[in-house]
Amino acid sequence: MRILIADDEANARYGMARALAGEGRELIEAEDGEQAWSLIQDEYPDLLYLDLNMPRLTGLELLQRFAQHPAIGKPEIIVVTAGDTVDQAIECIRAGADDFLTKPYEVERLRAIARRAERRVAMQAQVASLQTQLAMPPGCGSLLGISSPMKQLFNRIPRAASTALPVLIRGESGTGKELLAREIHRSSARADGPYVAVNMAAVSAPLIESELFGHVKGAFTGAEQPREGVFRSAHRGTLFLDEIGDMPVAVQTRLLRVLQEGVVQPVGSEQSIQIDVRIISATHQDLEQAIEEKLFRQDLYFRLRGIELCIPPLRQRHEDIVLLAGHFLGDSRHFTADAMTALLQHPWPGNVRELKQRVESASAMAEDEHVNRIDLGLKAATGLGEPSRFEKYLDLPLTEAKNQLVEEFETLAIERALQLESGNISAAARRLGIHRQSLQQKLKNGGFD
């Protein structure tokens, strides 16, 4: 990380540089505002400690230069000021500074700001790296991914597709198990045959046998017409049995016979019909535990588990989040930096399905071409790799940490109220128990999107 210290006092620059020195940091100095502006354009610092009162160009005037030259990248700017010029420091923050230090400052406060900036720089580097990787081949067919776990999965798909063995796909809900099943079928010798999918969890128990094996007319009350069943519909193709763990044990017994003998017997019929079907099944359940609890037949498990493929959850493949989010967003809109950071830090319990829903909803509700964190309904980012949400406060003086925690909580409370009230400021103010004018002032001063 490159840090620029801009102060007209040599002793002040020396003391600050000594306190900030460390591995992975490059320190550069400027003795006046004009020199600082020149270094900003030439050296692209990540963090700037900016003395408020400098010759040739004051701190406030330098901040105004950024507004006049928007193409020049602005570092994180910390205004350093004497205690009697706090009002000027606040004016600088309104002009674009990120924070301020009051002289004499505490060294730990100075270092804490640098560590916070390092986390931001690390996150920006990760985002830049991921965006660079988007130019690489992004996946396998309709499956998208550039992460190591997904690349390993993509390497196994052609080998799995080239065999006639049953395939068992494991993965949490929303990871894309059916997409994987379709890709195996598309890559197999059966690609010209039918692909039929059925979700066992979505079929009512009394109708499962009819859904799978078909029935003859009059086989049961309401069976006014014969039904072919999905096994016969998938003849010479692929049958995808999703959520296989939800299949009743009695039906499992019949399914095992079909797999062993290659014949189906429609409900209400004594005729056995020859079929040629490749089975791909999927589950998010622990089948081994279900076997122990006598909820799943062990012999059926071994029959279905000819080849086992696993799709990792989204939280284990961060590299794919940017790729997938950009794919769902399309070319007409763009994520803000804050939105990108929030996307990377969200745990995604609903996996790709949740990501798709959030991005498509945000795209529909965004006011312009920029999709921000609030559009996505995600919480504010807390820093890359922090083991605790309080870590960033631990290096601060207790009073300062308390003030920042209160400010963060207030921000989250306001955001939540606005989301619950669909952006209605009056209703949000009533929910928060404050006056509408107070909420408007907080929104104006708090940097809300």
- Over the chain (449 residues), the average pLDDT of each successive run of 10 is 89 89 86 90 87 85 84 81 68 81 82 83 68 58 85 92 94 93 95 95 85 85 83 95 92 91 88 93 92 94 94 88 89 86 88 94 89 86 47 66 77 78 76 80 66
Query: In sequence order, which residues have a C-beta less than 8 Å from that of residue 94 and are 6 or more positions away?
Result: none
Question: Domain extents for the chain?
Answer: 2-105, 148-311, 316-445
For residue 197, which of 242, 263, 247, 245 has the smallest C-alpha distance?
A: 242
Q: Does the fold of domain 316-445 match that of domain 2-105? A: no
What are the tokens at 81?
A: 């000021």
Query: In sequence order, which residues have a C-beta less than 8 Å from that of residue 359 and are 6 or more positions away?
Result: 325, 328, 329, 371, 376
- What is the structure's pLDDT at 386? 41
Q: Which CATH architecture has domain 316-445?
A: Orthogonal Bundle (1.10)
The dihedral built from the CA positions of residue 179, 182, 184 and 187, taken in this order, carries a sign that is negative
- What is the structure's pLDDT at 169? 96
For residue 114, which of 25, 10, 11, 14 has the smallest C-alpha distance?
A: 25
Query: C-alpha distances in angstroms, 367 versus 25, 329, 334, 340?
Result: 39, 14, 12, 17
CATH (one of 3.40.50.360, 3.40.50.2300, 3.30.70.1050, 3.40.50.720) for 2-105: 3.40.50.2300
Query: In sequence order, which residues have a C-beta less than 8 Å from that of residue 75 and are 6 or more positions away?
Result: 4, 40, 44, 45, 46, 47, 48
SS3 85: helix
- C-alpha dihedral (352, 357, 363, 366), degrees to nearest 10: -120
Residue for token pair 């196994």: 156
Question: Helix 107-133 vs helix 10-20: angle between axes, to the nearest 10 degrees?
Answer: 60
The dihedral built from the CA positions of residue 122, 45, 411 and 377, taken in this order, carries a sign that is negative
- What is the structure's pLDDT at 388? 47
The dihedral built from the CA positions of residue 314, 318, 324 and 329, taken in this order, carries a sign that is positive
Q: Cβ(52)–Cβ(13) under 8 Å?
A: no
CA 352 to chain centre: 8
- What is the structure's pLDDT at 309? 95
Which CATH number describes the domain made up of 148-311?
A: 3.40.50.300
The torsion angles phi and psi of 27, rounded to 5 degrees, stand at -105, 130
